[in-house]
Structure 1
Amino acid sequence: MFRIGLIVNPLAGLGGSVALKGSDGMAAEALARGAEPRALQRTQLALTELAALKDQFFIYTAAGDMGESVCRALNLPHQTLYQPACPSTAADTHQAAQLLVREGVDLLLFAGGDGTARDICVEVPESLCVLGIPAGVKIHSGVYGVTPAGTGRLLARLVRGEPVSLVQADVMDIDEAAFREGRVRACRYGEMRVPGELEYIQAVKVAGKESAELVLTDIADELIERMEDDCYYIMGSGTTVAAVMERLGLENTLLGVDLVHQGRLIASDLDARGLYEYVKDKKCKLVITLIGGQGHIFGRGNQQLSPQVIRAVGPDNIWLLATKSKLNSLHGRPLRVDTNDPELDRQLCGLIRVITGYRDEVLVRVANPEYEAE
């Protein structure tokens, strides 16, 4: 019987869709802005992959939305070991992790973001295997699966007893206050042991600005030449898109989402709801880049680009920008999508054109592991 410890941070990811760039200390404001919790839904997506294996595992968890409610919803075998506060806090994560370690679980599964990974890292011994369900806004750490369903698929392999290598992965986090001001200050806080299956586990995010300024200028020039006056342009986050905004002479929200029309900045740092209201009945293009080292194009730091917004724009109207060095940093791994909508993720998989310079494009594969066998 495989013994799983489960901890869910129910507040993880709240700040993403409402443009708060994180959730640490911002949960109340995020909820006031209309944010909807998504950590439980993403945990359910992962654990659904275990539905056919109920006689092969047992889950130990915390009460309520820290794990018990998901187990009940899926009718999974479980026992509650800890009663958290309401709402739960980081202290609850620490205490729950201590109890699960004491219980002797084979693997500690947790849902959250980099802050949750830091809390878990403090409590687990080096020998314990962990696995994260991505539910936060910014996920720099290498302890998370590439998608919730991908995480579940990997966990199912472990439950079935299939041989899986274990590796040490970095736990990273950034200063959210600086992040909201457009500055990235990433720091390594330790490492934890994770299953080392590269198709399922995301890489540590590569931070810093692209040094190939000439290449960025070429990409910007190509994009600007394509722009049409009757079209609205959603400008995503990241330094590659920022180069386009700089070339246009417009202010840019480096870690947010802006809207451009006829060469003018229409709105800055939009949240998911406000963005949808702007674009729902307009001709639009979505301009994005990928996360260096990881390959995610949706679901990491750009939750303002909600499934509703992406569908309103349409998959054929996505312009993906990246330098070839950024693509090469993936070492052949495909691009990933994690929109929190499995059907949309499936639709977005396949080949996508990437603008890599002036009159220069390459075809790159988008392929989540849970769909690759289909």
Structure 2
Amino acid sequence: MHVGFVMNPVAGMGGRVGLKGTDGKVAEAVARGAEPRAPDRARRALGRLAAVAPEATVSTAADPMGDRLVRDAGFDPVRVVDPFGDGDGDGDPPGPTETTAEHTARVVRAFSEGGGADALDPVDLVLFVGGDGTATDVAAALEAAGSEVPMLGVPAGVKVYSSVFAVSPEDAAEVAAAFSRTERREVMDIDEDAYREGEVHPELRAVARVPVADDLQSSKQTASGTVESLAEGVADDIREREGKGVTFVLGPGSTVGAIKAELGFEPSPIGVDVWRDGEVVLRDGTEREILDALGEENVIVVSPIGGQGFVFGRGNPQLSPAVIRQCDLQIVASRAKLDDVRALRVDTDDPELDDELAGWVRVRVGKFETRMMKIA
């Protein structure tokens, strides 16, 4: 197995600081104090790959797009593609925030072509760390090269709607080490500027060859059915606790948006709002702002993504492990949304918390009705 590993070092940086994505917003994310997310996700994937496939051959990109992380995991890369200079990996690397989509494309083209002074064959798999934008870049580069090399994503972006990603970094490593067949799957992305205004319209950007495995997420789908009675029931429950100092952290999305509307306020389009004792105390909050707004008793109300089942880790990184650990959890979803989901999933960047959240949970599906679902 010859794996080509490449990381988008700024993927997901805009999430916890409330930017809903990083495309075109890297400088603003840095100004808001954003911390890189992708390197830790990469370490987890590479660490697991080293454990399950220590004999794997790995090629990678020059830093800050992979070299040091691959070596830290215990691999001696047979090839280091330098997209910034002369191709030998010895140029002066740019800062992480100076990397571009074209740099990713150059690395992927080199992986798919093989050859060169080292006479290597093309890689058997492009393992990339990023979000939907990175997936689009990887797929486009493979298509332009006329390559049939499969790709597999380690999820590190804010949205991650595409079906070319593993459920978690560790799952990505497991799939990379063991797959024997591939299939065509969707690469989806959205206009992030429109997304920030509340317009969520995932578009098909490519169809890519991906390993066949159970631990891949589905593409984002829009569930059918209404949520009016569900929203009414949850809003009634929230009103019953007014005057008791309970803080409700209301996640993004149309289902929770209907609850916000039922409470009588205009929700931030795709942000996290905080409600306490009949008033909005925070709109479209960042992780830091949400933490500052929490009280003694807190409840997160969140709905899984249709077609995928993610409760945390896709589209709501403001709800970080630090926030989640201070809150009770209420999951809400229409019956139609759950009908397309085999299990709920979490990907919080904290494997210990993911394990704590796993198990059977009660999901509110109507004004009074609930359904038992398992967080896998």
TM-score normalised to structure 2 length: 0.90
Distance 2:250 2:13 in 1: 22
CA contact (8 A) 1:4 1:58 kept: yes
Query: Which residue of 329, 344, 351 corresponds with 2:353?
Result: 344
Structure 1 residue 117 and structure 2 residue 135: aligned?
Answer: yes
Distance 2:343 2:229 in 1: 22
Distance 2:286 2:250 in 1: 13
Tell me the alpha carbon deviations over residues 204-228 of structure 1, each in whole angstroms, 9 at most, x when there is no partner.
00137x5414444454455435544
More helix by share: 1
Give the alignment's Cα RMSD to 1 decimal.
1.6
Mark the runs of 5 or more structure 1 residues left unpaired by the alignment.
Answer: 159-163, 368-374
CA contact (8 A) 1:126 1:193 kept: no
Distance 2:161 2:106 in 1: 24
Distance 1:306 1:217 in 2: 24
Distance 1:20 1:217 in 2: 26
Could you list the structure 1 runs, at least 4 aligned residues long, displaced by more than 6 angstroms after superposition.
none
Structure 1 residue 108 and structure 2 residue 126: aligned?
Answer: yes
* Equivalence for 2:160: 139
The alpha carbon displacement at 1:358 in A equals 1.7
After TM superposition, the structure 1 stretch with the greater mean CA deviation from structure 2, 37-46 or 147-156, is 147-156
* Equivalence for 2:64: 65
Alignment of 1:203-352 (within 5 A): 203-207=218-222, 210-221=224-235, 223-224=237-238, 227-229=241-243, 230-279=245-294, 281-313=295-327, 317-330=328-341, 333-352=342-361
* Equivalence for 2:117: none
Structure 1 residue 37 and structure 2 residue 55: aligned?
Answer: no
* Equivalence for 2:375: 366
TM-score normalised to structure 1 length: 0.90
Structure 1 residue 197 and structure 2 residue 206: aligned?
Answer: no
The alpha carbon displacement at 1:165 in A equals 3.4
Mark the runs of 5 or more structure 2 residues left unpaired by the alignment.
Answer: 85-92, 115-121
Structure 1 residue 81 and structure 2 residue 71: aligned?
Answer: no
* Equivalence for 1:181: 197
The alpha carbon displacement at 1:278 in A equals 1.5
* Equivalence for 2:2: 3
The alpha carbon displacement at 1:146 in A equals 0.9
The alpha carbon displacement at 1:83 in A equals 4.1
The alpha carbon displacement at 1:52 in A equals 3.0
Distance 1:223 1:194 in 2: 44
Distance 1:273 1:183 in 2: 25
Distance 1:54 1:356 in 2: 42
Tell me the alpha carbon deviations over residues 308-359 of structure 1, each in whole angstroms, 9 at most, x when there is no partner.
111122xxx10100011110011xx211100001111111101111011122
Distance 2:195 2:51 in 1: 42
CA contact (8 A) 2:227 2:255 kept: no
Give the % identical residues.
Answer: 38
